[in-house]
Structure 1
Amino acid sequence: MLTESGTVAVKPADHKSRIRVVDLETGGNGPNEVCEIGWQDVVLGHDGAWKVDDERGSLLVNPGRAISPETMAIHHILDAEVATAPFWKEVASSVLRPEGGLLALAAHRAAFEQRYCTPRYTGGADWICTWKSALRLWPELPRFSNQMLRYLRMPEGLVHSIGLPAHRAMPDAYVTAHHLRDMLNETTSEQLIAWSREPGLLPRVPSGTERGKGWDRVDVETLRAFARDRDTDVRFSAETELRRRGNAVDVGVVEPEQGTLL
């Protein structure tokens, strides 16, 4: 939250009992400089259960360049609103390294946030990717975007109005925090961090003639072809299934990665 002077005020906390969910909005031109950061904390209660805390907030950030119309159409942040805002390097650490420390940082598809929330600003904190974790914990779900998980799962205690508007940093972080809370109450933070260090384990084939099939229904030769895919998550998922069956994984030459949506 912000003080009257506009600085970030955060509550001290035991670093082992607090995880900060962050979400970024960017300008959409050139290197996509940050124009907003939002955060929402998840804390370990005295009863041993993880809870969504009252500590949340957002800051506008001057991206140092004009925001593209395509990006404004998503988050509706105007150039005039960020013209006098501080630059990323001036505010990042105050949000990413709060007083009292953190067990980890978290984000949905955290690889995007990690492009900007570098160790220079985070102090080398561990990360939890709630997208990768959702693939592991809830593989039966048909979609895994932040907002689809919101409405597929309807997390307990999520106040609808606080989670709006979508595609703004604090509301998105607030929604993600409810997914994270439920994940932490199903498994350990150590397990979530470990999963987040690996590529995404897709529950189903995302494209092609085998689209929608579980990997266990795909024949070995097709799995070997997927293990040479340009997408890291597809390769990893196919390789994992091959190893599960006791087959050697020989991927050969892999072309540069191309993203896959799920």
Structure 2
Amino acid sequence: MPPPPPSIIRVIDLETTGSAPPAHGVCEIGWQDVALSQSGRWELFGEGGQRFVNPGRPMSPITTAIHHIRDEDVADAPWWHDVARPILDPWPRRVALAAHRATFEEQFCTPSLTRGADWICTWKCALRLWPDSPSFSNQVLRYWRKPEGLEHERGLPAHRAFPDAYVTAFHLRDMLNEASVAQLIEWSKLPGLLPRVRYGPDRGKEWSEIDDDSLHGFLSDRDIDIRFTAETEYRRRLGGGPVGRTPENLLL
């Protein structure tokens, strides 16, 4: 008897008519699976896929200019609720879902469609695992890290659902080979822990390098990631733990 197919983490990428459902809708979904191999390492699994979706509203020129999906490309495509569940919930094999900046995908991939799946945000996890990256976008990580085995043309064009999911899957694979699934999910549930200051006179500095007065100014920032990072650094200065790269013993 052939062995059963392995459990997977499914990487998802969406292209949409805008960023705020229900005013905006999905026009394309792409996916690529990552699975634990018999060697004990995580690897890409299967060919992945892509489906167009009828968003039920016209595409704006601004969003079309990003992904180049036109109204006529999706006019005969199925509706989101007819497409989503079989892709988002390949039960019982799916361990979790993943996306780069997963909070965007989670707006459209609601718990009723995912069977309440946990999410891994590869952007938040990259901040923790690879803080030296010059930036943390999907494509910057791609060219900074140059993941082994990534086929350049298969990951193009950018801002299309399958190529972006394919690239993200390589980031996820490498993260899973550094940290546990549980750890990645835990980080993903928290705000982003930023390795460097984003703006102001201290822009580009590590948080440990700025003075107390500057740090206190960030404690009330409207950006939840900046505020969370400032609070974490403040606790570190009071003896409450690290900020930035996580000690190896926390990855177990």
Distance 1:82 1:173 in 2: 20
Stretches of structure 2 that go unaligned for 5 or more consecutive residues are: 241-252
Normalising by structure 2, we get a TM-score of 0.90
Could you say if the C-alpha distance between residues 29 and 110 of structure 1 is closer, same or farther in structure 2, counting changes exceeding 3 Å?
Answer: closer
Aligned with 1:193: secondary structure? helix
Question: After the TM superposition, which residues 131-150 of structure 1 pair with which residues of structure 2 at under 5 Å, given as runs?
Answer: 131-150=123-142
- Superposed CA deviations along residues 118-166 of structure 1, whole A, max 9, x for unmatched, are 1010000000000000000000111000001000111000001110111
One-letter amino acid matched to 2:191: P
**How far does residue 78 in structure 1 lie from its aligned partner after superposition?**
1.0
Q: Deviations over 1:35-66 (max 9, x none)?
A: 00000000000110000112300100000010
1:232 to 214, 220, 224: 224
String of CA shifts for 1:74-128, please: whole Å, max 9, x gaps. 1111111101111111111010001433110000000000000010100000000
CA distance in 2, matches of 1:13, 1:200: 33
TM-score (normalised: structure 1): 0.87
User: Percent identical across equivalent pairs?
Assistant: 61
Which among 1, 10, 15 is matched to residue 25 of structure 1? Answer: 15
Task: Give the distance between the partners of 2:141 and 2:133, measured in 1 at CA.
Answer: 8
Within-5 A mapping of 1:61-140:
61-140=53-132
Letter of the 1:180 counterpart: L
After TM superposition, the structure 1 = structure 2 runs for residues 212-251 of structure 1, keeping only pairs within 5 Å, are 212-246=204-238
Residues 174-211 of structure 1: per-residue CA shift (max 9 Å, x gap): 00000000000011111000000000000000011110
In structure 2, C-alpha distance between the alignment counterparts of 1:208 and 1:247, rounded to whole Å: 26
**Could you tell me how far apart the structure 2 residues matched to 1:230 and 1:177 are?**
31
Partner of 1:210: 202
List gaps (5 residues or longer) in structure 1: 1-11, 249-262
Aligned residues: 235
User: CA shift at 1:247, angstroms?
Assistant: 7.1
How far apart, in 2, do the equivalents of 1:36 and 1:226 lie? 38
What is the RMSD of the two structures over their aligned residues, measured on CA atoms? 1.4
1:158 aligns with 2:150: yes
Q: 2: distance between equivalents of 1:42 and 1:144?
A: 21
